[in-house]
Homo-oligomer: A and B are copies of this chain.
């Protein structure tokens, strides 16, 4: 296989592993196993584990920006409310991956690491900028949209779906995202 394709494969595998265990908790060996290659090869392809994580983050934010841009471009005449729904749906689709948004979440709370922190901040700001300029959200609308997203990520990250038999947890999950409630449960139960 060409090294370029293998790279993409490894990044995909790494996204799942980093999303599951976080930057420090993930091992290059777990990534290698998930990608079906040897551990030294993973390290040599990216140089360091950190570089691999940064590659994952770049792909994650690229995907986020691409998908959001597609929604915006597909609805040139939509008002904010319509756009909010469309972008919310796109976010839900991205959530189905779990690794993507959770890798970003892990980066967001790892701001103390210089390289990861800088990448995380740039990623967050690029999404915020997209909402402000291209989607024409007000600052408050963008803030609320992103806050809602952080909440959704948190639900998935802590596997709140495992508590779905608790009426309080069910109410919370349904309220956070009615259309994604089933997905949250499934993502919590998986694996």
Contact = CB atoms under 8 A, between A and B. Distances in A.
A121 B175 contact: no
A158 interface: yes
A168 B24 contact: no
Q: How many copies does the complex hold?
A: 2
A20 B162 contact: no
Interface in A146-191: 146-148, 150-151, 153-154, 157-160, 162-163, 166, 168-169, 171-172, 175-176, 188
A143 interface: yes
Contacts of A111: 157-160, 188
Contacts of A154: 108-109, 124, 150
Contacts of A132: 168
A37 interface: no
Contacts of A20: 112
Contacts of A124: 154, 158, 160
Interface residues of A, number: 49
A13 to B, nearest CB: 16
A5 to B, nearest CB: 29
27 contacts: A20-B112, A21-B112, A22-B22, A22-B109, A24-B25, A106-B109, A108-B154, A108-B157, A108-B158, A109-B157, A110-B157, A111-B158, A111-B188, A112-B159, A117-B159, A117-B162, A121-B159, A124-B158, A125-B163, A125-B166, A125-B168, A129-B168, A139-B171, A142-B175, A147-B150, A150-B150, A150-B151
B25 A175 contact: no
A-B CB proximity, top 7 nearest: A111-B158, A147-B151, A111-B159, A109-B157, A150-B150, A24-B25, A147-B147
A72 interface: no
A121 B162 contact: yes
